[in-house]
Amino acid sequence: MLETQRTIGKAVSMSGIGLHTGTSCTMTFKPAPENFGIRFVRVDLGGSPEIPAVADNVVDVSRGTTLAIGEAKVHTVEHVLAAIVGLQIDNIIIELDGIEPPIGDGSAMPYVEALQRAGFEQQKAPKDYLIIDETVMYQNDERQVDIVALPLDDYRITVMVDYQNPALGSQHTGLFNLEAEFITEFAPARTFCFLSEVEHLANSGLIKGGDLDNAVVIVDHDLDKEELKRLRDKIGLDRDFELGTNGILNNKQLRFKNEPVRHKLLDLLGDLALIGAPIKAQILAARPGHKANVEFAKMVRKLYQQKKIVRKYQLVKKEGVVFDVNAIQRILPHRYPFLLVDKIIHLDFDKKVIGVKSVTSNEPFFPGHFPGQPIMPGVLIVEAMAQTGGILLLNSFPDPSQKLVMFMGINNVKFRKPVVPGDQLFLEVELGTRRSKVVNMKGKAYVNEQLVAEGDFMAAIIDREEKKEE
């Protein structure tokens, strides 16, 4: 795998119609600077809005992957993204004068050939790999979908499909080396559907640009000549349909014996580009589809964002510690004597955080609370939980240091047991509902696994005021 970032050498264009919208579009690939990422640009819209290719911008997965920001949309991006990732391109601008890229022949090969004509340019910045160091798993029992990422110092994908349909049966494939296998073994694999799906897709307003030159139609039930003619007219094609004898409409020849599952791998490769970074992992997928692919990409993207922020604040890696006190002081504005969390030992963004506060006899509040019988004030335990909870919101803002988290309400607070010098508080905070800049959190504090305090609190996120020069 490449170690430095890559873009293309020059601009290159291609034109055609979109698979689902049937609209014409010219797509131009352009070089981009280091750390730019992959961005679609709708040059036909006012202001030429940009849509970064990340999972956060997915708005529809009904039959392909659609990205949008506001009114600007791009349909069916997965084949384009697969070509970009397959060629290990990190930074690129994709300009479109329409809503959907040209479908070409239904594979990623037309995009690969265009990008090869543009040539490649190695950049100086190192690739920002997401290295999977723990198992990440997605399951959908209803659809029998499983996708797993396992630690591996490389990028490999294995896919199995089983539609429980005798026309296709069970198929599997694997990509083990992007450079050696992608262009020849996977980029040419074309999109496919079952004959029984065609009318439903047409009724749903899809495949307006579909024909037998850009899709493989698998015959999974019989139709007579009149039904085939009606189907042809419904789609708007001017050529006749015939069931054929090889299981593919009009006797179309497959490029690979297992071309359908190879295309599923291609789709998965493109959808995983939405993580927003190249990854090192072994991906195992059973019965993947765009919905599952994108949900999995969101899970892994959250892991990527978390690792990126941890690297930003935790300068020295420590076993069992997400953030030490130095990192916490880079995040929170609190200082002695009111910084009440010493380290963060667990962090799952937008879900849960665990902090630790070691309570010593040197705490400034003990001499007055109470003389001769020191007890940590309950309100400070709540404050410690709130400070810990503030770490949960790191993923929500480009620069957390410019924000403050302030109490709006405290409810259902209970103090179960006194906290005294020598105790170590474990502060668990879970994120509840969130509305714009107002969040609800539930906190619990433990000593020796015994619950000592708990409460619900509401907080507002506000801008931190700049210091004015005197």
Residues acting as catalytic residues: 290, 369
Which neighbouring-strand residues pair with 14? 27
Residue 458 contacts residue 436 (beta carbons within 8 Å) = no
- Quote the tokens at residue 28: 């131009």
Burial class for 33, CB neighbours closer than 10 Å (0-12, 13-18, 19+): exposed
